[in-house]
Structure formats: structure tokens, C-alpha cells
Amino acid sequence: MTKTKLTAEIEAVLSKGEKAFIPYIMAGDGGLELLKEQILFLQENGATAIEVGIPFSDPVADGPTIQRAGERSLANGTNLRLIIQALDSFHEKVHIPLILMTYFNPILSYGLETFSKDCQRIGIAGLIVPDVPVEESNQLRASLQDTDIALVPLVSLTSPPERIAKIIALGEGFIYAVTVNGITGVRNGFDEQLEQHLILLKELCPIPVLAGFGISSPEQVVSMGAITDGVIVGSAIVEAFHLNNKEKIVELIQASKKQVSIS
């Protein structure tokens, strides 16, 4: 397994005794002109990497908060090509990895080879495509093979052991451990078997394991980070930017820097 830039950046954070924190934002929510400001704000306040969401009309994994953000973005005329152009305009100021989270149709419309070349040119470090399962990822992998872009896989709570092994074998960047059975969104609690699931993934994976879906408070950042290598926080970040509550975002990021693994 070739170590990508994304893996190296996460491991650098872990080596300092901190946990990785990857916020998710919806590109174009509030206007694409905010994208630079949001990314640089997250970078300046200690995000490990940033997951940049691409709005899509039929998102299968997104909960209500992110769906509404995507609808606002689409209403502003946002699309993948415009987002790539916006990122290109300031990519030299971005010093942490950017991960694009999109569905497969926008990539197909863009053109697989053109998309991978443009992403490589502007420094995109990772790609998350929830509607492309590992069994159907060969075409996408082939388009990325000459790049340093990690195709980050998702592992669900219900994945059987043999499928988890297959996903891990092909995993790049980090393993995205989905913490709930369902869509994204704020949760008050998690399945009682989740801890054992995350501990098992950590034991099996040669690359970092990050927990995502439903993590929305500093306390959850700490508790999830204690048994993994870090967290991805989406809905809480999207809502905080929408409400201009940047203090909440800083609190969430800082929580990742105050913990020691119990594993």
C-alpha cells in the first residue's frame, strides 16, 4: 500500500499526541465567494484537513442539515466545475489537505480523466464518493492511479468481516468509519456496539481510522477520538457556518487537541 500525502498529514498530527479533525463544509452554501474564507478559517484554527462537499440533487448519505445546505448551494448555481475553479483561484494559500466529497454523477459529467488531472493540479489530496462501493470502484481508481489523490473508503457498522477486509486492502488516505446506520446528522448517542467495532477497525487497519456521522459536540469529539485516530464533523460545522457561529467551530477543533488515546 502506497502512503499518500493525506495519510502522512494525519500521521503527523497523531505523532504530536493530538487527534485528527476533519471538518466538512458545503461548497457554495452562502455563495462560492465564501469558500476561500471558510477554508482559510478552518486552516488557521487547526483543522487537519477539510472535506469540501459538492452539492448534488439526490444525496443518499446526507441528513437534513447537509441536504438543506446543498439545496442552498444549488440554488446559487454551484456545480463541480465552478467549485474546482474557485479552489484553483486560491489553492496556493491552502497548506492542509483538501478532500472532495461528491457523488459519482458530477464526476462523470465532468469527465473522469479531466477531473483527476484538475484535482491533481490544484492539490486535492483525497476523494470520498459514497455511492461508489469498493466493488464498483475500478473505473474511478484507474483515473486516479497516476495521482497522489487518495480514494477514501467508508466502512459501515453492518459491513461483514470479509467485506471490511476487502475495503481495508484497497483503502487509501484513511478509513472513514461510519458511526451510525443511516444518514448524516446530529446524534445524542450511538450504538452500544460501536466502540468494539471501532477498536476492531483500528486493529485491522494499517492506515488511520477516523469516525464520522453524527459527531456534533466537543464531548463526542473527545469520546470518539479516544478510540480512533480522529473525527470528521459535518452537520455541526455546516450549521455553525450558516449561523456565523465560528466560536462553536473553534471549540470543536480544539477538543481534538486535548485527548490521549485509550486504545
Is 51 catalytic? The answer is: yes
Which listed residue (9, 29, 51, 229) is catalytic?
51
For residues 185 and 90, give the distance between their C-alpha atoms in angstroms, rounded to a whole number: 30
Number of Cβ atoms within 10 Å of the Cβ of 189: 9
Cell, residue 221: 469529539
Euclidean distance between the first and the last CA atom of the chain, given in angstroms as a whole number: 24
Which listed residue (9, 18, 29, 62) is catalytic?
62
Per DSSP, the residues of 118-159 read HHHHTTEEEEE-TTS-GGG-HHHHHHHTTS--EE--EE-TT-
Is 148 catalytic? The answer is: no
Which amino acids are annotated catalytic? 51, 62
